[in-house]
Structure 1
Amino acid sequence: LIRLAGASGRRPVRGKAGIPSTFRRPSLLPRLQVHAARLLSGEDVVLKVQKKGVQGSLKADLDLLYANARVLQLLGVVTAELSDVVATLRSAILEEIDFVLEAQRTEQFAEFLARSPELDGVVTVPKVYRAASASRLLTLERLYGVPLIDLESVRKYQPQPELALIVALNTWVSSVLTNEWFHADVHAGNLLVLTDGRVAFIDFGIVGAIPAATAEGMLDFVRSFPAGDMAGVGRALEKMGFTKELSEEQSAAFAKDIGEVIASIDSMTADIATTASAGAAASAIDETQLNRAVAAVARVAEG
């Protein structure tokens, strides 16, 4: 039961989507699936409404598409790759319209933020109102803000817009490395700067994930590279799958090759800077250094 604000005041309208009787004054615009509303308890919310039959018809279409891909594969017209692509697409689309799953992901991301004290009061996600949600209705806290790319509007709430961008980027990267999944649809509409200056992530219909070993390798790389620990860099690259599994002796040789690549690049960079400061052409690079760097890269590639 939803209470609409009509010309003659409030009137109850019974819906067919299992909509709980906790709303009043929603602005239900024709053909839109996202609406503003207010709970009877007073909280401003956003309603994501899915039309009846959408999941069933979409699933039927995707199943037919996958079946056709499989038939073409069996006939030898296409390779198995097409079936794999269609299967992945089918899974992603069905997940995107699964409001129960989206509610769960939104709450999980809130838990991820709660595990990061440095993000407290800096980054947020909308609260999920479970009691006011259903299979085809997702009720979320309404957040007031502006898209992150609208710099003029952002400056009203954050004097240094670049700081908001850095916060958003750091949060996203942290979620990639430490959370079981990450927001895979980060664009202007899904990143807001709120009126209180916080950054908000919204719309968790599409997410991505990387294997735990890869995430661990990425963290190791971030720690090892700035410290000049080439052995650590080598092990990190191995964890991420950039090379085959190596023996202890091979790992040591791999680390040495990586160190030579970095040293060669650093040497050329220093020479370019020196040449440029002397007023000469900045592109003047010692050919011996260049050959040495190329050879070092080749050894790493072979490893």
Structure 2
Amino acid sequence: MRYEGNIFRPPSEAYSLIVQVTIGCTHNKCTFCSMFKDKQFRVRNVQEVLEDLEMARKYHRHVEKIFLADGDALCLSNNKLMVILERIKKLFPECQRVGVYGAPQDVLIKSHEELVELRENGIGIIYIGAESGSPKVLEAVKKGVTREQLIEAVKKIENAGIKASVTFISGLAGPEHMEEHALETASMVSEMEPSYVGLLTLMVDPAAPIYNEIKAGRFKIMNAEEVLGETALMLKNINVTKKCVFRSNHASNYVSLKGDLPQDKERMMNQLKRAMENTNLIKDERFRAL
């Protein structure tokens, strides 16, 4: 396999074959993110991607999942994506799911029929970084997309029969706007009703633009107790009518939460309550990592 630069993938794609379809991220302006700051966005030649798939087949006897990197491979036209997906089906008949990052703008450009076509040819999950349900926070972190667009994109994915996995970030609003971040994120999840929600906790790489805001004193990092309080407020106010797999077990999180909403809400809230009452249950900073 041939890779360019650092490679990133969602936690649930840990055992997937990763194939770069694009290099970098089309937006690449989010202040909290340093993942693709060292890359100039471009789409790889499809022939190169097909060659990588051929190479991978020679080295891997069994591949159940494939993830198309980098930041938002969904920006490719369906014509190009179909060439890649058809080759995957031919070379890896055992592959059960193809996953991809998708910016909301990419999702909204595609028709319902195009998304259904992708689902019928292997795309089983689209990962979207929503980060916050608060319009104020989205603007502050230069997300480049509105709350309404995020909700519409996730609903569109789910309506096409594809699983949407949506990521949010605890602590992204700082202590000053913590309550708004928690409540607006809860209402966004309730309205979206995605198949999966992943909650990370803000950790700042010096290469991320927000690092300078912190150094200048314009943004304050929340402590563990504040983060848990924010998470509890958010979780309390999420009201979904269909099963939503909730995970807050990333390496960045202070407390590992794992359950399904709505049925496991009370258990996870009790877990947060115990950790706030007994700080020994909170992960030490030394063991948190991106």
Q: TM-score range by the shorter chain?
A: under 0.3
Kindly indicate whether structure 1 or structure 2 has the higher relative contact order, using CA contacts under 8 Å at least 6 residues apart: 2
Q: Could you say which structure has the larger radius of gyration?
A: 1
Structure with higher helix content:
1
Under a length normalisation based on structure 1, what TM-score does the superposition of the two structures give?
Answer: 0.26
Under a length normalisation based on structure 2, what TM-score does the superposition of the two structures give?
Answer: 0.27
